[in-house]
Amino acid sequence: MITFERVSKRYEEGHDALKEVSFQIERDDLVFLTGHSGAGKSTLMRLIMLMDRATRGKVLIDGRDLATVPSRGVPAHRRDIGVVFQNHQLLFDRPVFDNVALPLVIRGYDYREVGRRVRASLDKVGLLSKERAMPLTLSGGEQQRVGIARAVVCKPKILLADEPTGNLDPDLSAEIMQLFEEFNRVGVTILIASHDLALISRLRHRILTLKDGRLVTGGAL
Ligand SMILES: Nc1ncnc2c1ncn2[C@@H]1O[C@H](COP(=O)(O)OP(=O)(O)OP(=O)(O)O)[C@@H](O)[C@H]1O
């Protein structure tokens, strides 16, 4: 599903953010990505989303070499990928429904389909009763669940999460992880970048560890 073959990423000023990184993530996997600040976690995710391109090596998604995807193919590529951020990146002047609907509206779904899909997503994250609420009236954990509903509303094959529990207490973090596990059980491939080693080790999924841009655990091809 996601394959990295000796991938290196050098930023323009000459800094190697990833060095010869190789790993494979299968369709039904839920994998954690960890490492110190600046180790290259966000860079690795940016390459999967085609927000950036590898300097050397290959990134393949479903067997397709991303180097062959032209710029005009990037929006279609991103359609298959849901993204969850630590700080939610919600629109705070819009109710929950509008926030979750946004990716569907951008893609031109008709309003009946938008309503059906938004409610299905909110139901999955346990927030059906909050569709008219404004994000600021929700708790941090609820706001993060809105972010997750928005990430899955287009039914992506891959879900990437960058520090999704960074601002949450341990109980809420565990709840959010359970949600990811539920999406994984229905076939979504999930990669979660996290510093929370206590949480990660309890959950017993595979762990990829980056250190100064090199993969030091979990990377067998
Ligand atoms: N756009 C960029 N231009 C230049 N250097 C960058 C850019 N983005 C990241 N870097 C550098 O690449 C390295 C890896 O950064 P990256 O954001 O991937 O790390 P990270 O593991 O996600 O860190 P954090 O946990 O702090 O978010 C860092 O040294 C960073 O300064």
* Res 89: pLDDT: 82
Q: Is 169 in the same domain as 150?
A: no
Task: From the CA of 18, give the closest atom in ligand 1.
Answer: 14
Residues of the chain with pLDDT under 70: 88, 220-221
Query: Is residue 47 in contact with ligand 1, taking CB distance under 6 Å?
Result: no
Query: Is residue 92 in contact with ligand 1, taking CB distance under 6 Å?
Result: no
* Res 168: pLDDT: 82
Q: What is the pLDDT of residues 31-84, one digit of tens each?
A: 999 999 999 999 999 999 999 999 999 999 999 999 999 999 999 999 889 999
Query: Is residue 35 in contact with ligand 1, taking CB distance under 6 Å?
Result: yes
* Res 79: pLDDT: 87
The per-residue b/e assignment along 141-160, b for 16 or more CB within 10 angstroms, e otherwise, is bbbbbbbbbbbbbbebebbb
Of 139, 152, 49, 164, whose CA–CA distance to 104 is shortest? 152
* Res 179: pLDDT: 92
The domain boundary residue, chosen from 155, 170, 189: 155
Query: Is residue 103 in contact with ligand 1, taking CB distance under 6 Å?
Result: no
Q: Is 113 in the same domain as 134?
A: yes
- Domain of residue 137 covers 93-155
Do 142 and 107 touch, CB atoms closer than 8 A?
no
* Res 7: pLDDT: 97
* Residue 88 counted as domain residue: no
- Three-point CA angle 92, 95, 96, nearest 5°: 100
Quickly count: other Cβ atoms within 10 Å of residue 70's Cβ: 6
Would you state the structure tokens that stand for residue 68, as one six-digit string? Answer: 């062959």
Please give the order of strands across the beta sheet that includes 158-162. Answer: 81-85, 158-162, 189-193, 30-35, 206-211, 214-217
* Residue 85 counted as domain residue: no
Q: Which residues contact 100 (CB under 8 A, 6 or more apart)?
A: 118, 121, 122, 146, 149, 150, 153
* Residue 192 counted as domain residue: yes
Predicted ipTM of the assembly: 0.92
Do 82 and 160 touch, CB atoms closer than 8 A?
yes
Q: Is 164 in the same domain as 219?
A: yes
